[in-house]
Amino acid sequence: MQRYSAFSLLRNALGHNRNWGRVWRSPEPKQGYDAIIVGGGGHGLATAYYLAKNHGMSNIAVLEKGWIGGGNTGRNTTIVRSNYLWTEAALLYEKSMQLWEGLSQDLNYNVMFSQRGVYNLGHSLQDMRDIERRVNANRLNGIDAEVVGTAELGKAIPHLNISPGARYPVLGASLQRRGGVARHDAVAWGFARAADALGVDIIEQCAVTGIDVSGGKAVGVQTTRGPIASDRIGVVVAGHAGVLAQMADLRLPIESHPLQAFVSEPIRPVLDTVVMSGAVHGYISQSDKGELVIGAGIDAYNGYGQRGSFPVIEHAMQAIVELFPVFSRVRMLRLWGGIVDVAPDACPILSKTPVEGLYFNCGWGTGGFKATPGSGWAFAHTMAHDEAHELNAPFSLERFSTGALVDEHGAAAVAH
């Protein structure tokens, strides 16, 4: 692999940039592999990378029906944090956070992980109790977290509306300073490049059309580029998990929904951190290019169309204008949708299945991007050892029968 550095940039510039090599090859699929990853998004590519790097496997193919990073990896709002309430979730996301912190160096590819802090706003006394509880749990789990008051918020986020007269006044926030954002495309490309360098075949324009199961064991896949044999198949296809599961006669407790996001035109830097608000359903950051990147809510209905309903955008816009009245005259440049796969407890499934040698990594819902390295790391372990790592053991399919859900959802959605 050609090392990237300031020096190599300079040297190549002198050569009119003609000597840069390919970032990943474009190989023909072989007849068989030791492991196949279905899905060339961030999670799938990370899985391949860690399989090769941590588990000594290199005869691996990543099969991508379109172009790598073209699904939710390239459609999210790029927020990275690990301040989850439940220990099971927190430890998995924290593993991911630790990998993020060295990822650019590990991959020799600048994924522009920018730890500019993530604020979760509280708008009611109950919000503040929940924040207190979560921050406290985070700290005991070794995850940085703090509760901040409105005065500090006013300083850290100059245009945030902290007026007590607001409809949902800001009473405080949790802050994870190590949280932030990363460059989403670079994550896919960086993992692809590093995995490719370790021998992984990344095969684009190769859609899986069937999963071959024989005697309860996975033996290979049918693809638009022919059959490929393997007795170890990991499916990492987010919104399409259910479609792939059907190919192996499996059912998943997953529903696919549209999730939308939008960006503004680039404006001069005005927001230096990530602000999320559950109460008004909006989250916002500003990219290095100057665009305000804003996440909207999920559409209630099932959808595979990568398009949601406009009222959802209106609601998100109202929330943002409520939080940041000065953004009312900023203009929306582009909105788009992705397909998120949502599990009943809003937690992922990283699990073996009733089919031997077939593994599923799905159910990340609206929060998968931040988990990319950790998800790949744990899933690679699961595939390599045919056994979950302790970090992802709580995220098995069995939990839906036993009732041992990791209910981040329930913890947030409450009456009273």
Partner 1 sequence: MLLIECPWCGPRAETEFSHGGEAGITRPANPDALSDAEWADYLFYRSNPRGAHRELWNHARGCRRWFVVERDTVTNRIAGSFRLDEALPVPASAAGKQAEQGD
Partner 2 sequence: MAAGQANRLPEGGRIDRSRPLRFSFNGKSYAGYAGDTLASALLANGVSLVGRSFKLRRPRGIVGGGAEEPNAVMQLGEGAAARPNLLATQVELEPGLAARGTRGWPSTRFDIGAALDGFGRILGAGFYYKTFKYPRAWWKLYEHVIRRAAGFGKAPDSPDPDRYEHRNAHCDVLVAGGGPAGLMAALMAARAGARVILADDDVEFGGSLLVGGDAIDGIPAMDWVARVVAELRQMPDCRLLSRGTVFGYHDHNFLTIAQRCVRESDIAAQDQARRPVAERLWRVRAKRVVLAQGAFERPLVFCNNDRPGVMLATAVSGYIRRHAVLPGRRAVVFTNNDSAYRTAIDLAGAGAEVAAIVDSRPGGAGAIEQRVKELGIPVLPGHVVSDVSGRRRVRGAGIARWTGEPWSTVEITLRIDCDLVAVSGGFSPAVHLHSQAGGKLEWSESQLCFLPAEARQSHDSAGAGNGRQSTGDCLADGLRAGTAATVELGLSRPEIEIPATEEVPAAPIEALWRVPAVKDADRCPKQFIDFQNDATVADIRLAVREGYRNVEHVKRYTALGFGTDQGKLGNINGMAILADALGKPIPEVGTTTFRPAYTPVRFGTVAGESVGELYDPVRKTALHEWHEAAGAPMEAVGQWHRPWYFPRGGEDLHAAVARECLAVRNSVGIMDASTLGKIDVRGPDAVNFLERVYTHNVGRMKPGRCAYGILLGEDGMVMDDGVMARLAEDRFYLTTTTGGAAHVLDWLEKWLQTEWPELEVYLTSLTEQFSTLAVAGPNSRKLLEKLGCDIPLDRESFPFMHVRTATLAGIPVSLFRVGFSGELAFEINIGSQFALDLWRKLMDAGREFDITPYGTETMHVLRAEKGFVIVGHDTDGSVTPVDLGMNWLLSREKDFLGKRSLARPDCLREDRKQLVGLLSRDGCTVIPEGAQLIERTGQATPVPMCGHVTSSYPSASLGHPIALALVTGGRGRKGETLFAASPGREPTAVEIVSPAFYDPGGERQHV
Contact map string, positions 130 to 169, toward partner 2, x by CB under 8 A: xxxxxxxx-xxxx--xxx-----------x-------xxx
* Least spacing, CB of residue 146 vs partner 1, in Å: 36
282-286 and 292-298: which strand pairing? antiparallel
Among 266, 278, 356, 393, binds partner 2 (CB under 8 A): 266
Among 128, 207, 243, 270, binds partner 1 (CB under 8 A): 243
Q: Which is nearer to partner 2, 181 or 218 (CB)?
A: 181
Helix (H, G, I), strand (E, B) or coil at 16: coil
- 335-369 burial, b at 16+ Cβ within 10 Å, e below that, comes to bebbbbbbbebbbbbbbbbebebbbbbbbbbbbbb
Q: Which of residues 312-331 bind partner 2 (CB under 8 A)?
A: 313-314, 317-318, 320-322, 325-331
**Residue 307 touching partner 1 (CB under 8 A):** yes
* Interaction of residue 67 with partner 1, rule CB under 8 A: no
Q: How many CA atoms lie within 13 A of 154 on its CB side?
A: 10
Q: Name the one range near partner 1 by CB under 8 A: 11-19, 159-167, 190-198, 254-262.
A: 254-262
Q: Which does 25 bind (CB under 5 to 8 A by kind): partner 2, partner 1, none?
A: partner 2
**Residue 363 Cβ vs partner 2, minimum distance, rounded to whole Å:** 16
- 10: which residues sit within 8 A by CB, 6+ positions away? none
CB of 410 to partner 2, least distance (A): 2
> Which string of b and e fits 282-321 if b means at least 16 CB within 10 Å?
bbbbbbeeebbbbbbbbbeeebeebebbeebbebbbebbb
Toward partner 2, which CB reaches closer, 147 or 243?
147
Under DSSP, the state recorded for 110 is -
Interface with partner 1 includes 413 (CB under 8 A)?
Answer: no
Q: Minimum distance from CB of 305 to partner 2 (Å)?
A: 8
CA distance 117 to 272: 9
Would you give the distance in Å from CA 404 to the centre of its chain? 23
C-alpha pair distances (Å), 245 with each of 2, 139, 354, 368: 38, 38, 11, 19
The one-character DSSP state at 383 is: H
Task: Give the whole-angstrom CA distance, residue 278 versus residue 121.
Answer: 7
Which residues inside 98-127 make contact with partner 2, applying CB under 8 A? 101-102, 104-105, 108-115, 123-126
Closest CB to partner 2 among residues 156, 229 = 156
Least separation in angstroms between CB 20 and partner 2: 5
What tokens appear for 97 in the block?
């956070």
Decide if 93 contacts 82 (C-beta within 8 A).
yes
286 is a site residue for partner 2 (CB under 8 A): yes
Which of 210, 224, 302, 333 binds partner 2 (CB under 8 A)? It is 333
Binding of partner 1 by 251 (CB under 8 A): yes
Per CB under 8 A, the segment of 78-86, 212-220, 235-243, 371-379 that binds partner 1 is 235-243
Cβ proximity to partner 2, 146 vs 231, nearer residue: 146
CB of 84 to partner 2, least distance (A): 12
Q: Which residue in 32, 70, 266, 344 binds partner 1 (CB under 8 A)?
A: 344
Tell me the CA distances in angstroms from 197 to 60, 204, 227, one per residue in order: 12, 16, 25
- 401 lines the binding site for partner 1 (CB under 8 A): yes
DSSP 76: S
Query: In the bound complex, what is the minimum distance in angstroms from residue 190's beta carbon to partner 1?
Result: 30
- Binding residues for partner 1 (CB under 8 A): 240, 242-243, 251-256, 300-305, 307, 309-311, 344, 400-403
